[in-house]
Amino acid sequence: MTEKSHDSGSMKPVDLSDEQVYWDLGESKSYGQYLQLDKILSAQQPNSYEHDEMLFIVIHQASELWMKLCLHELTGALDHIRRDDLGPSFKMLSRVARIQAQLTQSWDVLATMTPAEYSAFRNQLGRASGFQSYQYRMLEFIIGNKNADMVEVHKRDPQAYEALTRTLRSPSLYDESLRLLSRRGFEIPQEYLDRDWSQPYQPSKQVTAAWLAVYHSIDDHWDLYELAEKLVDLDMKFQLWRFSHMKTVERIIGYKRGTGGTGGVSYLAKALELRFFPELWTVRTSM
C-alpha cells in the first residue's frame, strides 16, 4: 500500500515499521483459508468467451450468498418468536432488511448490461433460471408465501426437495407470529393456529382486528407492535427487491420468455401482487 506525498505528489510506501504485522502466520489459518476463497473464486466458470457473462455469474452467486445469510437470520428469528423471546428476533429481522437493501442494489449493477451484451451468451444458459433458486423459494416459504407446485422444479435435487417440502409443511414466520398473538390473549381463529401449513395463507378480519388492538394499545404491547413493524419492513423490502428485479429484466430482455419457461416480466409482475402479511397492511387503512 502506498500514500501520496502532499509536497511532491509522488507515491511512497506506507511506513509499517511501527506495526506488529504477522508476516509469518505459523499454524494459524490465513484470511483466504478461513474464507475458503480458493473454492469461492474458482466457482466462476463462464460457458462462453463473452466479457459480460462474468458479471452475470458474480451478481447471481453473490445474491445466493446474501440469501443464505437471510435464511440464517430468519430461521433464528422464527425460533425466537416461537419461544416468545422477541428481543433477539428484532435484531435478526433488522439485519435481513439491510441485506435486502444490498440485494436490491445488485440489480443496479446488473442493469449496466445491455440487451446486446446479454443476448451474446443467453443461449448458453439453456433452461437455467433464477426461478430454480432453491434458496429464494426457501425464503418465500419461511416468510409465508406457500405454493406446493414450486417444489416440483427441485425434484432432481433430493436434498433440496426434501428441505423445501419440510419447510412448506411447517409454520411460517407469520404463522408463528399469529400463534404468539393467541398466546398473549388475542382472539385468533383456531383454524389459523392449527392448519395445513402447506396451503396458502388466507387473510382474516379477526386477525386484522387482533393486530389493530396491538396498534391501538402500543404502550401495553410494545414488543408485539415492534414485531409488526419489523414484519412490514421485511414485506416492503421484499416488494422493492421484486420490483427492481422486474424492471432490470424488462430493461435487458424486454418481454421475452424467461430461460426457465416463465413469461419473464409478466411472471415477475404477478409476484408484485403478493403480500406476506396482508392484515398488517389492512390495519393502516383501518386506523
At 42, list the grid cell. Answer: 474458482
DSSP string, 12-78: EE---TTS---SS-TTSPPHHHHTTHHHHTT----SSS-TTHHHHHHHHHHHHHHHHHHHHHHHHHH
Look up cell 396458502; give the residue: 200
Closest CA to 100 of 143, 63, 141, 137: 63
Rg (CA), the chain: 23
Q: What angle is formed at CA 135 by the lines to CA 131 and CA 136, rounded to 5 degrees?
A: 50
Closest CA to 141 of 208, 60, 74: 74
Say how many C-beta atoms besides its own lie within 10 A of residue 283's C-beta. Answer: 22
Q: In angstroms, how far is CA 124 from the centroid of its own chain?
A: 26
Quote the DSSP letter at residue 2.
Answer: E
Residue 57 annotated as binding site: yes
Residue 51 annotated as binding site: no
The angle that helices 222-253 and 205-216 make with each other, rounded to 10 degrees, is: 120
Residue 60 annotated as binding site: yes
Residue 225 annotated as binding site: no
Residue 216 annotated as binding site: no
At 116, list the grid cell. Answer: 446486446
Interatomic CA distance for residues 209 and 286, integer angstroms:
9
> Is the backbone of residue 81 left (phi > 0), alpha (psi -120 to 50) or beta?
alpha
Interatomic CA distance for residues 164 and 169, integer angstroms:
9
Which residues are known binding-site members? 56-60, 118, 122, 245, 259
State the binding site for substrate: 56-60, 118, 122, 259
| Known binding-site positions for heme | 245
